[in-house]
Structure 1
Amino acid sequence: MVDITVNAGKNCAVGQFRAMASPCEILLEVQDMTLCRQLTQLAAAEAERIEQKYSRYRSSSVLSQLNRNAGSWQTLDAETGQLLAFADSCYQLSDGLFDISSGILRRIWQFDGSAKLADQAEIDALLPYIGWHQVIRDNNRIWLPAGMELDLGGIAKEYAVDKVLQLLRQQFNQNNVPSLVVNFGGDMRCSQPRQDGSAWRIGIENPTLADQAISAVGLSNGALATSGDSRRFLLKDGVRYSHIVNPKTGWPVSNAPRSVTVAAPNCLLAGMLATTALLQGAAAEEFLQAQKLQYWLVH
């Protein structure tokens, strides 16, 4: 059972819980605590469903089953098939840099703030098992090479934000929908402007001073997602190594911004673009400019 708290915010109601290793909150424009609790319970249940289905840490998850049965054809349910189709689009757009088969590198990279770097021999041993292009998909089936593992950590939380907002909006009559914000650890999506036409004020975290905002932006529709190294990194000889790893080399990306925040129509797209921008390293801003979406960089 997920612990839920509901409080009155400034001109809104706030429901909070934890899921996907993140603090999660639901902001409801009206100060209706009973309604906010109901919506927060729905949100927590949907987040738990998605985490249970796609977490690599749960042996019973669909993802864990796919990884255990690598080397043979497996049947996909519709939801998983759609997520993997999105992952394929990410791979193509990023020229192979956004690769959900690269999570296997966590075996040798522990981004815990220490100075311990992976050994090149360790990296070389894992690289043959990385490469989404090696995966074969056929209608509702998939074949992973033996030894390969998929990791949806780069898109699952953003997917959950989108699904939760969709679920919550369905609870209302079309003519009487208050403005809602779903925020999972800084990845968020807003349903619509507030009744007076104003936007929600959202702070963008300072990666140097966690829990402090560098700026506030107005969010009245669509999504914001942030990717950065404020909490997961290595530091050796004065060099900071981000947890964003290039799947082609097995090494953390160098010369990337400290954080990237992207505004997009949905959270899946915003998160994918923020992470892909970091994977570009020094070319992050050039990549973002080409997307013609609003973004914020912190170097």
Structure 2
Amino acid sequence: MSAAGASAQAEFHTDFHAMGSPCRIQVQRATPATAPAVEAAIAEVHRIEAKYSRYRNDSVVSHINRAAGLSAPVELDTETCDLLDFAVSAHAASGGAFDLTTGVLRRAWDFGAGRLPTAGEIAALMPLVGWSQVTWQRPALHLPRPGMELDFGGIGKEYAVDRAATLLAEAGIGAALVNLGGDLRAVGHRDDGQAWHFGIAHPRDANAIVASIPLHQGALATSGDYERYFEIDGRRYCHILDPRSGWPAQGWQSISVVAPACLAAGTISTIAMLLGPQALPFLRSQGLPFLAIDANGQPERGEPEALPAAQAGN
């Protein structure tokens, strides 16, 4: 996604890399307080990445996963408890489609190698998948089966967007954008009263956009089948894995959602990708603007007045 419309003379921005993605924080009006506020926001993103990364042995997630199958539960800090409570609510709202235990399926699905797993490989892992097996009584969590895993990848980046935006607002930054790999949140209002405009990437053409979404405040997140995937015999297999089947989501090329917080926008877009033919009723029930691109590349819009067609130059 790209942002347009900020004054080149007043804008301050910093590019960095986090959570496997190119990231940017931009502030419309630079003051002496801007640089330290942005540095603090970036530090917060890196803190969250380190805390919830499944690739770090010292992360909370690794600590939880190492305890799988042991008799004693793991006691967790307030921040992690809050994220788990949110994930529980998303699991219920999605009918079980949104599930933090699906990380174990990546033992079968290697999107870097592009190898299609066998049905037997997936079936062997399915007993380790399912939030209903988890014992969660705040602040204690227990994964009952050895080999079970939690994966915060579906909420960690979006949570980091919200936390960075909160720190900027608390530092008195009047108008800013936090963009972590295309998941973003606006802080405050632009001086001219105009919205920030974001181009939604075309899921089949990296050099094109399918729509330009104006955002005065709040957040925007997109889930799609075009970032981590492979194709075999004309069928695309993406990284969004369904806990009910063990196979990738099908039916939608991308779904973008506007919400007050990025955590909500990202979770809703991911759930919709997983719901397949039930995505549109679910999205409309949320009462939020959305743009969904179906398997044939056709758009479906929610609150279309908030989602104008793409214009040249946006």
Counterpart of 1:266 in structure 2 is 261
Work out whether residues 225 and 262 of structure 1, in 8 Å CA contact, stay in contact via their aligned partners in 2: yes
Q: Secondary structure at the match of 1:85?
A: helix
2:81 aligns with: 81
Q: Match of 2:64? A: 66
Tell me what 2:292 maps to.
297
Deviations 1:93-126 (A, max 9, x none): 1111100001110111122383x21111111110
The aligned runs of 1:203-218 (5 Å cut-off) are 203-218=199-214
Please state whether the residue corresponding to 1:125 is helix, strand or coil. helix
The corresponding residue for 1:3 is: none
Question: For residues 105-254 of structure 1, what are the structure 2 equivalents within 5 Å?
Answer: 105-112=105-112, 114=114, 116-146=115-145, 147-172=147-172, 177-254=173-250
Q: Cα RMSD (Å) of the superposition? A: 1.7
Secondary structure class of the residue paired with 1:210: strand
Q: Which runs of 4+ in 1 moved over 6 A?
A: none
Deviation at 1:196, TM superposition (A): 2.0
1:113, 1:235 within 8 Å by CA — same for their partners in 2?
A: no
Cα deviation, residue 179, structure 1 = 0.9
1:144-164 superposed Cα distances (whole Å, 9 cap, x missing partner): 113210000000000000011
Question: How many residue pairs get matched?
Answer: 286
Is 1:16 aligned to 2:15, yes or no? yes
- Match of 1:270, as an amino acid? A
Partner of 1:40: 38
One of 40, 50, 53 as aligned partner of 1:52 = 50
Aligned partners of 2:10, 2:279: CA distance in 1, in Å?
Answer: 37
> Which residues of structure 1 form unaligned runs of 5+?
1-7
Bigger relative CO (Cα 8 Å, ≥ 6 apart): 2
Q: Deviations over 1:145-194 (max 9, x none)?
A: 1321000000000000001111111112xxxx411111100100112221
TM-score, structure 2 normalization: 0.87
Find the residue that maps to 2:223 and give its secondary structure. Answer: strand
What TM-score, normalized by structure 1, do the two folds share?
A: 0.91
2:99–2:130 contact (8 Å) kept in structure 1: yes
Distance (Å, rounded) in 2 between the aligned partners of 1:124 and 1:186 = 34
SS in 2 for 1:191: strand
Matched-pair contact (CA < 8 Å) for 2:168–2:187 = no
